[in-house]
Amino acid sequence: DMVVKKIVCVGAGYVGGPTCAVIASQCPDIQVTVVDMNAEKIRQWNSDELPIYEPDLDGIVKKCRGRNLFFSADVVTAIREAQLIFISVNTPTKTYGLGEGRAPDLKYVESVARTIAECAGGPKIVVEKSTVPVKAAQSIAQILYAAQRDNPRLSFQVLSNPEFLAEGTAISDLLKPDRVLIGGDQTAQGLAAIAELVSVYEHWVPRERIITTNTWSSELTKLVANALLAQRISSINAVSAICEATGADVREVAHAAGTDSRIGPKFLQASVGFGGSCFQKDVLNLVYLCESLNLKEAADYWMGVVNINNWQRRRFADKIICEMFNTLSEKRIAMFGFAFKKNTADTRYEPGSRESSSIYVAKHLLEESAHLCIYDPKVPADHMIAELSNVSGSARVAKQVFVCNDPYAAAKNAHAIVIMTEWDEFKELDYARLYASMMKPASLFDGRVMLDHNKLVDIGFYVHSIGVKCSRPQAHSVRGPN
Ligand code: NAD
Ligand code: UDX
């Protein structure tokens, strides 16, 4: 019988870091070590400047670090000492070979499995936290069981425990999860391993919120959950195009439709398209799974979610180009926001899965010879330059992209402001002051449907928004009584 006293998490990223910080803070009786092959990242986790930004993460790490939370580059020792191992490495979309552009690349997961097989030394519970295709646990188990045959002191159980946290709210999602999902073999040993992991989460998650299933249901549920969420966004974005053409208002439609308790109000915010490290990757993962099972109609259905998202980005860029008289040559455009959503600085680029919609829209505008002045409250300048160079080439970026550290500087002499991220501070800006400093006619493109459009029109802006018919100022700047 095993009681979990030491946990190791392989992969000190967006998932591994916050998840382990919360486990350590909630389980003082368990020692948690987070390891990574990237020694620089480990150095940052041990410093005052953590490698990722999440509200409340700093406080929790500082409270637990050195007590029962450790960050280490010594993967082998940490694995040898732990009873339970989380695999929390990245699983990007494959950029080569079979399944290129769809299937997730499992090379990092496999390499961790091989490291565990080599240095385990005794019985271990191995937990897939990374998002993987259905049956990935079988591949991990196959590698581990080969080692077990050679060494009778070894024994392994592989569990699936996908993570549902969202970036920007990682800590609160982890502290108060809607549910924790644990899948495992439905054998006596499998159920015992599930019970061990349940007992870790039970330190702070009510038992009825911990769902246990077989391994394949758990793996599939993670893909399905993200596909359903992404599908809602693509659905409302498809509707947004109808609204722009007809005069229906997507905010009113989403609200009125979402009031039906069967539909629900969340995740119906029309936008310039979803970004982030998961939605596109995981939907493509599901598409590939369908294809490999010869389920073409199911694959096409889910592929539509990604297609609409790319169309929405292109459509928004085209709207900007069209409204600016079909030429952006030499025109200055102020982009407000670069992050794929507020409260995160994460716009990571993994080859084959460009993430923030800002990257795509910027690329289209740069192709039209626009000069982009980008302001984002959190994303570092070198990060933006690297992302854009990746898609548009560094020569073009050097000539046409300017990163500004305040929105007023970005908008000065610009022909348009383009809202890309729903940062709260964009609601509080002095738009009359911005307008006064801009070229005329001045346009504002609201990619997040977040501003008070009537107010902007009163100031003099031409306002174009996702999901709302364009509003133009009247020839005399003050609006009439009707
Ligand atoms: P990440 O890129 O932030 O971190 C992964 C880390 O794993 C990196 O630091 C990398 O150096 C390390 N790594 C890779 N191979 C390694 C190896 N062999 N040994 C040691 N370290 C290794 O990724 P992430 O965002 O934390 O995502 C991890 C997994 O969780 C992915 O499968 C992702 O789909 C899933 N997920 C992510 C989120 C999210 O919001 N980011 C949410 C839910 C699930
Ligand atoms: C997502 C899932 O929510 C999370 O459960 C999973 O574990 C990882 O992937 P994340 O990508 O961090 O999390 O952020 P999320 O809040 O889901 O937003 C993803 C993208 O969709 C963002 O670009 C966001 O702006 C966009 N979005 C979200 C919309 O455009 N409209 C909405 O109504 C909601």
- Residue 457 near residue 479 (C-beta atoms within 8 A): yes
Clarify whether 404 is annotated catalytic: no
Cα(398) to centroid of ligand 1, in Å? 31
Q: CA triplet 389, 276, 450: central angle to 5 degrees? A: 100
Ligand 2 binding pocket includes 275 (Cβ within 6 Å):
yes
Query: Is 479 a residue whose pLDDT tops 70?
Result: no
Q: Does residue 291 have a known ligand-binding role?
A: no
What pLDDT score was predicted for residue 343? Answer: 78
**How much is the average pLDDT of 38-44?**
97
Burial (CB < 10 A; 0-12, 13-18, 19+), residue 406, is exposed
Ligand 2 binding pocket includes 78 (Cβ within 6 Å):
no
Q: Give the chain as a 3 state SS string.
A: CCCCCEEEEECCCCCHHHHHHHHHHHCCCCEEEEECCCHHHHHHHCCCCCCCCCCCHHHHHHHHECCCEEEECCHHHHHHHCCEEEECCCCCECCCCCCCCCCECCHHHHHHHHHHHHHCCCCEEEEECCCCCCCHHHHHHHHHHHHHHHCCCCCEEEEECCCCCCCCCHHHHHHCCCCEEEEECCCHHHHHHHHHHHHHHCCCCCHHHEEEEEHHHHHHHHHHHHHHHHHHHHHHHHHHHHHHHHCCCHHHHHHHHHCCCCCCCCCCCCCCCCCCCCHHHHHHHHHHHHHHCCCHHHHHHHHHHHHHHHHHHHHHHHHHHHHCCCCCCCCEEEEECCCCCCCCCCCCCECCECCCHHHHHHHHHHHCCCEEEEECCCCCHHHHHHHHHHHHCHHHHHHHEEECCCHHHHHCCCCEEEECCCCHHHHCCCHHHHHHCCCCCCEEEECCCCCCHHHHHHHCCEEEECCEEEECCCCCCCCCCC
Q: Which of 170-174, 350-354, 428-432 has the least mean pLDDT?
A: 350-354
Ligand 1 binding pocket includes 108 (Cβ within 6 Å):
yes
Cα(105) to centroid of ligand 1, in Å? 12
Test site for ligand 2: of 233, 253, 280, most ligand atoms within 8 A of the Cβ:
233
Q: Does residue 15 have a known ligand-binding role?
A: yes
Cα(306) to centroid of ligand 2, in Å? 14
Ligand 2 binding pocket includes 99 (Cβ within 6 Å):
no
278, 290, 373, 404: the catalytic one is 278
- Residue 473 near residue 435 (C-beta atoms within 8 A): no
With CA atoms as reference, report the closest residue to 84 among 183, 6, 189, 194: 6
Phi-psi region of 36 (alpha: psi -120 to 50; beta: other; left: phi over 0): beta
Q: How confident is the model at residue 478 (pLDDT cuts 50, 70, 90)?
A: low
Cα(226) to centroid of ligand 2, in Å? 9
What pLDDT score was predicted for residue 346? Answer: 60
- Residue 456 near residue 463 (C-beta atoms within 8 A): yes
Query: Cα–Cα distance between 59 and 428 in angstroms, integer?
Result: 28
What pLDDT score was predicted for residue 352? Answer: 38
Q: Give the pLDDT confidence of 79-124 residue by residue, as tens digits.
A: 999 999 999 999 998 989 999 988 999 999 999 999 999 999 999 9
Q: How confident is the model at residue 427 (pLDDT cuts 50, 70, 90)?
A: very high
Q: Does residue 280 have a known ligand-binding role?
A: yes
With CA atoms as reference, report the closest residue to 83 among 53, 113, 116, 55: 116
Q: How confident is the model at residue 475 (pLDDT cuts 50, 70, 90)?
A: confident
107 to 39, 103, 112, 113, 284: CA distances (angstroms): 19, 12, 9, 10, 17
The residue whose CA is least distant from atom 34 of ligand 2 is 267
Ligand 1 atom with minimal separation from the 164 CA: 43
- Length of the chain as a residue count: 482
Query: Is 159 a residue whose pLDDT tops 90?
Result: yes
Ligand 1 binding pocket includes 278 (Cβ within 6 Å):
yes
Q: Does residue 352 have a known ligand-binding role?
A: no
Ligand 2 binding pocket includes 129 (Cβ within 6 Å):
no
Cα(278) to centroid of ligand 1, in Å? 11
What pLDDT score was predicted for residue 1? Answer: 59
Ligand 1 binding pocket includes 79 (Cβ within 6 Å):
no
- The pTM is what? 0.94
Ligand 1 binding pocket includes 131 (Cβ within 6 Å):
yes
What pLDDT score was predicted for residue 345? Answer: 59
Q: Does residue 94 have a known ligand-binding role?
A: no
Phi-psi region of 99 (alpha: psi -120 to 50; beta: other; left: phi over 0): left
Cα(207) to centroid of ligand 2, in Å? 27
Q: Cα dihedral angle (305, 307, 310, 314), rounded to 10 degrees?
A: -130
Q: Give the pLDDT confidence of 177-212 residue by residue, as tens digits.
A: 999 999 999 999 999 999 999 999 999 999 999 999
Q: How confident is the model at residue 350 (pLDDT cuts 50, 70, 90)?
A: very low
Ligand 1 binding pocket includes 111 (Cβ within 6 Å):
yes
Ligand 1 binding pocket includes 73 (Cβ within 6 Å):
no
What pLDDT score was predicted for residue 476? Answer: 57
Ligand 2 atom with minimal separation from the 173 CA: 5
**How much is the average pLDDT of 298-306?**
98
Query: Which amino acid is located at 444 in the chain?
Result: L
* Percent of the chain whose pLDDT exceeds 70: 96
Test site for ligand 1: of 105, 277, 348, most ligand atoms within 8 A of the Cβ:
277
What pLDDT score was predicted for residue 56? Answer: 95
Q: Which of 188-192, 315-319, 470-474 has the least mean pLDDT?
A: 470-474
Query: Cα–Cα distance between 50 and 292 in angstroms, integer?
Result: 40
**How much is the average pLDDT of 411-428?**
97
Q: Does residue 279 have a known ligand-binding role?
A: yes
Q: Does residue 169 have a known ligand-binding role?
A: no
Cα(352) to centroid of ligand 2, in Å? 19
Q: Residue 61: phi, psi to the nearest 5? A: -65, -45
The residue whose CA is least distant from atom 3 of ligand 2 is 166
